[in-house]
Structure 1
Amino acid sequence: MMQFANAWTPPGPALLFCPADRPERYQKALDRADVVILDLEDAVSPENRVTAREALVANPIDPDRTIVRINPAGTGDYRRDLAAVVETNYRVVMQAKAEDVDSIIDTALQTVALIETPLGATRVNEIAAAVNCIGLMWGAEDLVAGLGGKSSRFGPGEERAGQYRDVARWVRSTVRIAAAAHGKFAVDSVHLDIDDVSGLVAEVRDAVALGYTATACIHPSQVDHIRAGYRPSDDEVDWARRVVDGSAEHAGGVFKLDGQMIDGPVLRQAEVVLTRAGAGGDVPDQSE
């Protein structure tokens, strides 16, 4: 398993996109979220990208809480984006439409690979193995466009209205598995319907259950819902503490708690809960 030494990880679960050509929003976005993704790609019109790169360089914010999304490899904007990033203290980029290992290695930076094309989806395991790939994210809309489709979600009147269609769910699952297989973090995709709070909450709950590290968002109003979803409840923390303590009492062997048999996999799930809660200072290292 190839790992980048001292790789960056998101300091919190809510990653907020911000157009790079709107520097007056940089700090506001950072104040609201755990991480800001300064976007040089889809959020910026082609004619504004020069201005966006100039703003990126001229308006620094905390590099430990910032990702810069750059344009797809093989484009002129990609090269110019990388040149601009080099002039800053930012050390993490998000590679839009990542499709091969070379495009990740070529950044020479810690890179979050954004899997959002059919070709990228078929190569996600190779991409995740790149030494400077520190995490994966997936995107539904470019994926469906690449399929020649028209919607990533079921529409009104369909049985599962508002939920992802099966191909999108498959890519979401594949990205999560590839990230875990290669020891990289995973970021769940944005929920574009800002008013659909219940849909966002449900997706965050599912992301947490599957071990996603964070969820990206497009509006500050979504941040609190994401944070709440990733924060374990008091009951979950209490259960996890009792599992960890019980395991220690039984020297790591199988034991019963509240009628449930507790073994190694359940113990690891409890340790993850404590890690998310920030309550596990003595929680064993999960990297081994």
Structure 2
Amino acid sequence: MTTWQPGPAWLFVPADRPDRFAKALERSDIAVIDLEDAVAADRKAQARAALAAYDWPEPERTLVRLNPASTAEHALDLDLLAEFAAAGRGPTRVMLAKAEAPTDLDGLGAHEVVVILETPAGVVHAREIIERPHVVGAMWGAEDLIAGLGGTASRDADGRYRPVALHAQNSVLLASKAAGKLAIDTVHLDIPDHDGLARESRDSVAIGFDAKASIHPGHIPIVRAAFAPDEAALARAHRILAGVAEHGEGVFALDGGMVDGPIIAQARRILARAAAAR
């Protein structure tokens, strides 16, 4: 179980662009400083140097995305984390790219970890990975998954995810919630497709994701709007909990329908999302 409850709008920013770090924090709930895909191989040392020199004004709202455990860069990332620990500065939570087995987390026992399950092995082993005690959340990814399968496109001609991508999404969501961990929905890569992003974000909320990641600051307001309950949903949630206060946790009628345990739990979730949005 995790007690960490961040807001829903997460934003990736390249680790070799320290000029963007403060802006990412201003605009998002969680800034993910990315040492992996967002940084070219010949700039990774420069990116780590930028992190070592950074002042970290809000480390509790910042994650560092590490290179996969199977890469030589990962060991250098761990050296950077050791520098942070020795100096008593920097984020204590990290994100591990392309986690594929529980043993990939062996070098990160001093940190809370959000894992990204974005390869065939990672999705297959989602439950064992997410159940590691210092894992606080999991995100899934479509593009690396499809590449790992030997495929060519995660979406169909209508822009909808293909069934295997949805299987990965559902697997990570179910494993995260079964373990009491956060579930983070993946990024929407089509930057100008705001309608598609809004639809996906609403779907994320509807099925239980706690947050959605983005690669562009223009996506943050759209994600936040989707995760913030509308006035009608809030009003109904308040009426349901007022009914609980009057009738107890059992079954009762409200607005012409039946309210029972799952409906009460959903109402509480709506109010929790409203509080997170504030």
Shorter-normalised TM range: over 0.9
Deviations 1:67-123 (A, max 9, x none): 110000022100111211232321111111001111123212111110000011100
Q: What amino acid does structure 1 have at the position aligned with 2:132?
A: A
RMSD across aligned C-alpha pairs, in angstroms?
A: 1.2
Of 67, 82, 85, the match for 2:78? 82
Deviation at 1:260, TM superposition (A): 1.1
Aligned residues of 1:57 and 1:85 also touching (Cα < 8 A): no
**Which residue of 1 is the match for residue 270 of structure 2?**
273
* CA apart distance, 1:27: 0.4
Find the aligned partners of 1:181 and 1:54 in 2 and give their Cα distance: 38
Alignment match, 2:213: 216
Alignment correspondent of 1:106: 107
Q: Is the 8 A contact 1:105 1:130 kept in 2?
A: no
Instruction: Tell me if 1:44 matches 2:45.
Output: no
Displacement of 1:248 in angstroms is: 1.5
Partners of 2:113 and 2:134 within 8 A in 1 = yes
Between the aligned partners of 2:5 and 2:258, the Cα distance in structure 1 is 33
- Does the residue aligned with 1:163 lie in a helix, a strand or coil? coil
Question: Cα deviations across residues 2-52 of structure 1 (Å, max 9, x unaligned)?
Answer: x46xx5442x11100000001111101111111100000000001100000
Q: Aligned partners of 2:273, 2:244: CA distance in 1, in Å? A: 19
Per residue, is there more helix in 1 or in 2?
Answer: 2
Gaps of 5+ in 1: 156-160, 280-288
1:129 maps to 131
Aligned mates of 1:107, 1:122 — CA distance in 2? 21
Quote the Cα distance in structure 2 between the aligned partners of 1:74 and 1:175: 21
State the one-letter code of the partner of 1:230.
Answer: F
Structure 2 counterpart of 1:260, which letter?
G
- Aligned-partner residue type, residue 278 of structure 1: A
Taking the TM superposition and a 5 Å limit, the aligned residue runs for 1:231-242 are 231-242=228-239
Contact 2:117 2:172 in 1 (8 A): yes
Secondary structure of 1:238's aligned partner: helix
Query: What does residue range 136-147 of structure 1 map to in structure 2 within 5 Å?
Result: 136-147=138-149
Please give the secondary structure, in 2, of the residue aligned with 1:241. Answer: helix
Q: Counterpart of 1:204 in 2: which secondary structure?
A: helix
Displacement of 1:247 in angstroms is: 1.2
Number of matched residues?
A: 269
Please list every run of 5 or more consecutive structure 2 residues that lacks an aligned counterpart in the other structure: 85-89
Correspondences of 1:196-207 after superposition (within 5 Å): 196-207=193-204
The alignment partner of 2:108 has SS state of coil
Q: Which amino acid aligns with 2:170?
A: S
How far apart, in 1, do the equivalents of 2:260 and 2:130 lie?
A: 30
Preserved CA contact (<8 Å) 2:78 2:107: no
**What is the identity percentage for the equivalent residue pairs of Structure 1 and Structure 2?**
46
**TM-score computed with the length of structure 2 as normaliser:** 0.94
Distance in 2 of aligned mates of 1:60 and 1:203: 35
Superposition map of 1:250-265 within 5 A: 250-265=247-262
Q: Secondary structure at the match of 1:278?
A: helix
Q: 1:8 to 1:84 in 2, by over 3 A?
A: farther
Superposition TM-score, scaled by structure 1 size:
0.91
- The code of the aligned residue for 1:154 comes to D
Could you tell me which residue of structure 2 aligns to residue 286 of structure 1?
none
Alignment-derived partner of residue 24 in structure 1: 19
Amino acid at match of 1:78: H
For 1:121-200, list aligned pairs within 5 A: 121-155=123-157, 161-200=158-197
User: What amino acid is aligned across from residue 215 of structure 1 in structure 2?
Assistant: K
**How far apart, CA to CA, are the structure 2 residues paired with 1:106 and 1:37?**
20
